[in-house]
Structure 1
Amino acid sequence: MSGIVWLVGAGVGDIGLITMRALECISQADCIVYDRLVNKAILRYARKDAELIFVGKEPSAHQLTQEQINELLVAKAKSGLSVCRLKGGDPFIFGRGGEEAEALAEAGIPFEVVPGVSSYHAVPAYAGIPLTDRRYSSSVAIVTGYESSEAGNVRWEEIAHAVDTIVVLMVVGRIREVTERLMQGGLDSSTKAALIEQGTLPTQRTIVGTLATIADKAEYERVHPPAVLIVGKVVELCDKLAWFERKPLFGKRILIARDEDRGFEMARMLEAYGANAVCLPVLKIELLSNSQQMREAVVALSKGLYDWVVFTSVNGVKALFETLHSMGMDARAFSSTKVCAIGDATNSELRKMGIIADAVPEQFTTEAVAELLLNIGVHGKRILLPRAFGASRKLTNSLLEAGAEVHEVTAYKVLTNEELGEEEISIALSKPIDIVCFTSPSSVDALFKLVGEGLKATLRNARIACIGPVTAKRVEEYGLPVCIIASTHTTGGLIDAILSHFATTNASTPK
């Protein structure tokens, strides 16, 4: 039985611009065939068992020819697989999606086209350039700077006086020729032009000039693909309407040393403020769901033998509920038990599982939890405490001293991610880092273990931001100064501290 091919537009660089239908196809596909300009973070939404095939094309070097890609799609579908052909931008706008659809149709393979957000309108929007404006432009031409021999040469001289706004994709290598041809076609040399490199990403650069100067500026600024050229009066609005490059953390390269899942979440939060967030998954979380210890705790919980369950992390929640579900139980096992949670993330994870915490301390520390429970009264109470292997016993000891009976269970382990490749580490540390974020002492230990003493030299010009004083102390033990410490010990609190730091720094910097 034949499979199906989804020709999916992955949108431009900003992962937030991908469509819901595209995510559905990515998450369902047996095989994903993807291009160079696809944001690799999108592949996180693929199934764990999905086959990932890179067929990226550089301007002068192709991984596979277009004919080979067509044959690959047909072969995979004929073997019964659902295939997601993931293409940057929109598959039917200079994406050769039409050729691939034609090959599939001729082979009798069912296919679906999923339109994507194209760079021709997304990139100008991120630079503050509306393609149409009733005062300046009522018509737009979208042109490729790369001329295909099959389609014939672009008629630049005709385009020059046919529309108000001209958008040129794939233009970097031919920008001088393109601008000269437009001027030969009658466009005034003083016509405004903007070249936008790495559009929609935190590395975006907008270079503004005129038809006469933009090629020289591009050469001087060493602009590299991908870049989009906008020509027309609407470019005059760029300075007033630019919004993306004015975000508070725009262009700041922030390294997040954490486990992959939580690191990715934090990266997305920082990207909302314009940061160039780089997640280096130095930690690996191993949930100990279904261990004998965890199963016994769940049985006791279901029998109402605990007065309280205290969750100190998201991972503790995940491990306990995985065990609970595997044993055919759900949130009803907590019917006679109260729940305490540290932190917004832990509380949010509990809500996903149908549990609203009875107690959440204002300060997200074990000391605050102990104080809260002691004020409530825990003498003679039985408390279940799902913890990380090797976690501090401060909370346990405080509860024991107050007369509680504490049952600690090891719910998960926090390990150094030994599978992290040297190449991934090298790429993350190869460019200057503005800020390094540490969210636990274990993340500090893991980064130093994986990188070694050379890390001090690499981070000598970086600001170090820590989620709290305990983590900051560990950083200082390695001989590095800490610049930012969150007063609220959560991911959101750490990001707020970083924003506050730069707001103060920028305000005190002479203009």
Structure 2
Amino acid sequence: MNSQPTTGQVQPRRLLPAAPRVVFIGSGPGESGLMTMRGAEILATAETVVYDADVHSEIVTAYVPQAATLIDAADLGVAASTRGRRMAELARPDNTVVRLSSDDGIIFTTTTAEAAVCRKEQVEVEIVPGVGLSASTAAFTGTALTTNRVRSVRFIEAGPQTHVDVSRHRNTTHVLTGSASAHEQAIEALLADGWDEDTKVLLGWGISTIEQTSVETTLKQALSMAQSGTDRMVVIMGQGVESRGELSWFESKPLFGWQVLIPRTKEQGTSTAEALAELGAVGTVVPTIAVQPPRTPTQMEKAIRGLVDGSYEWVGFTSVNAVRAVRMWFEDFGLDSRSMAGVKVAAVGGRTAAALVDWGITPDLIPDGEHSARGLAAAWPDYVDDIDPMNTVLLPRADIATEVLVAGLLEKGWDPDDVTAYRTVRASPPPAPIRESIKAGDFDAFLFTSSSTVRNLVGIAGKPAPTSVICCIGPATANTAAEHGLRVDVLAEEANLTSLIDGLVEFALTQRAEDVEAGISPQRPSQKRRRRKA
């Protein structure tokens, strides 16, 4: 048989073996959410990541798989050429090396020098730019780099030669980046070169993070600030500094920089943390209870059969955990939400209703006012013999639930079947650093959503420091907090998380206004604690 190809036949393309590759990724100014989509996709499948341990820890935690090999760039050598050669050695066809670089990954970095060495070693490279520090500083401080009159920008590496690079042209914005010591040298050089010491400048550090600090000051005052500053600083000199108040949005968030402890389960606390983040705060979720099945499952097994057989007119859910528990029972029996067709469903509040919708069930009743067992009882319709086929109501509850809803339904003519669907037990203590931070006052505020969260948090982690702001969702929770020696600063107007967070915002704004009126630089509760200690 002739093995030679026939003329005109399309031959399959011969695949070349994959070449070793090093990908350089600009990590942005610090906030993990500013990573580019391309950078995040590459990091998600990375096997070897070279990073700067003092800069990229948050990025690594957010995007790099736990199984990946992490290498501190400092361990690969001091010179860029040495690091480039070592990365080329690490790269293999089956192992792409990812190199995290600061900011945009290009300006004032060693990316191009390291990449050039990799190319010389016959290793392919890709450079993925990130969000630049200069642009980030302008955006997160509301400082315009260009205007209708300012048509040029100079990016300068701070140091003793800065005065050589800085043009005195009025229509130019100068952006200096570098360490605190480099900025000190730069400012000294500018002053020695005849720059007016009253020149307006913006000094910033911790850009895009909750530690961000930006100060409008003069060139002379910036010198003393640089002497006690951090390792990554930015100085902006230009017309945009004087008008930046109109655009300031990040640091002006009502809870900017606040550390708030959320004593809830991870599932419940995540949405609360997200809401706090929109206000500039960082929420730390500390579970105070763990949910477990009931000790005796017989009641719930009977209740599930009753729901399916049509033995109940209503089922009332008083928590997200109750929804999860019933859903778990259904799944264990091979059932889904369709088995509840014909049964009216009530939800104590918005989050419980959302959990039901996620399961495919639209609640028939949600109280308009207080989102609590009391509010649900008040909103529940009266039993009418001529209208309602039956008066039975299933209440799948926690083992520590109160009797408020049961009593309210009985008064309205209903026959509630109060069944334990799950048990709540005290959670394990949080890690030692969190326990220490709670007692030391490092958390600015605590959001307590029930009496049990107060008791359990104090039991597993200790009592919050006197300087921390204590927020309670209702009078019963506030009374429990007072019984444990806590001063209640915020009491929600309505028994829901939105009202609780609104109360904290109002408290923070009031405290800020009082500080300003007293001529004091506004500080968070944790900062005031440190100031008094000092």
Using the size of structure 1 for normalisation, the TM-score is: 0.77
- Provide, for residues 305-352 of structure 1, a one-character-per-residue CA deviation record: whole Å limited to 9, x for no partner: 543332222233334445545766543333222221112222223233
Return the index of the structure with the highest Cα Rg.
2
Q: Which moved more, 1:489-498 or 1:10-19?
A: 10-19
Match of 2:415 among 393, 396, 404: 404
Which residue in the other structure is 1:417 paired with? 428
Which residue in the other structure is 1:472 paired with? 478
Residue 456 of structure 2 corresponds to residue 440 of structure 1 = no
SS of corresponding position for 2:138 = helix
**% same residue:** 27
Which residue in the other structure is 1:178 paired with? 186
Which residue in the other structure is 1:213 paired with? 221
What does 1:169-318 align with in structure 2 at a 5 Å threshold? 169-182=177-190, 189-219=197-227, 222-275=228-281, 277-286=282-291, 288=293, 301-318=307-324
Residue 382 of structure 2 corresponds to residue 369 of structure 1 = no
Distance 1:284 1:101 in 2: 51
Distance 1:30 1:332 in 2: 45
CA gap of 1:76–1:250, structure 2 versus 1, over 3 A, is: same
Query: Is the 2:24–2:105 contact (alpha carbons within 8 Å) kept by the matching residues of 1?
Result: yes
Deviation at 1:250, TM superposition (A): 3.4
Query: Is the 1:5–1:77 contact (alpha carbons within 8 Å) kept by the matching residues of 2?
Result: no
Query: Is the 2:205–2:230 contact (alpha carbons within 8 Å) kept by the matching residues of 1?
Result: yes
Deviation at 1:265, TM superposition (A): 3.1
Which residue in the other structure is 1:51 paired with? 67
- Provide, for residues 142-185 of structure 1, a one-character-per-residue CA deviation record: whole Å limited to 9, x for no partner: 34448xxxxxx977513445882222333312112122344567
Distance 2:267 2:85 in 1: 34
Query: Is the 2:393–2:414 contact (alpha carbons within 8 Å) kept by the matching residues of 1?
Result: no
Deviation at 1:359, TM superposition (A): 0.3
Which residue in the other structure is 1:450 paired with? 460
Query: Is the 2:266–2:285 contact (alpha carbons within 8 Å) kept by the matching residues of 1?
Result: yes
Deviation at 1:494, TM superposition (A): 0.4
CA gap of 1:422–1:407, structure 2 versus 1, over 3 A, is: same
RMSD of aligned C-alpha atoms?
A: 4.4
Gaps of 5+ in 1: 147-152
- Provide, for residues 27-69 of structure 1, a one-character-per-residue CA deviation record: whole Å limited to 9, x for no partner: 666787765445749946777xx43776678xxxx57768789
Residue 135 of structure 2 corresponds to residue 121 of structure 1 = yes
- Provide, for residues 343-370 of structure 1, a one-character-per-residue CA deviation record: whole Å limited to 9, x for no partner: 2222223233332211001211101212
Distance 2:129 2:85 in 1: 19
SS of corresponding position for 1:356 = coil
SS of corresponding position for 1:476 = helix
Query: Is the 2:394–2:417 contact (alpha carbons within 8 Å) kept by the matching residues of 1?
Result: yes
Gaps of 5+ in 2: 1-16, 519-534
Query: Is the 2:26–2:129 contact (alpha carbons within 8 Å) kept by the matching residues of 1?
Result: yes
Number of residue pairs the alignment of both structures matches: 488
Match of 2:144 among 105, 125, 130: 130
Q: Which amino acid aligns with 1:410?
A: A
Distance 2:230 2:506 in 1: 33
Using the size of structure 2 for normalisation, the TM-score is: 0.74
CA gap of 1:430–1:504, structure 2 versus 1, over 3 A, is: closer
SS of corresponding position for 1:271 = helix
Distance 1:88 1:496 in 2: 37
Query: Is the 2:177–2:183 contact (alpha carbons within 8 Å) kept by the matching residues of 1?
Result: no
CA gap of 1:237–1:412, structure 2 versus 1, over 3 A, is: farther
Deviation at 1:267, TM superposition (A): 3.1
Deviation at 1:85, TM superposition (A): 6.4
Q: Which amino acid aligns with 2:201?
A: A
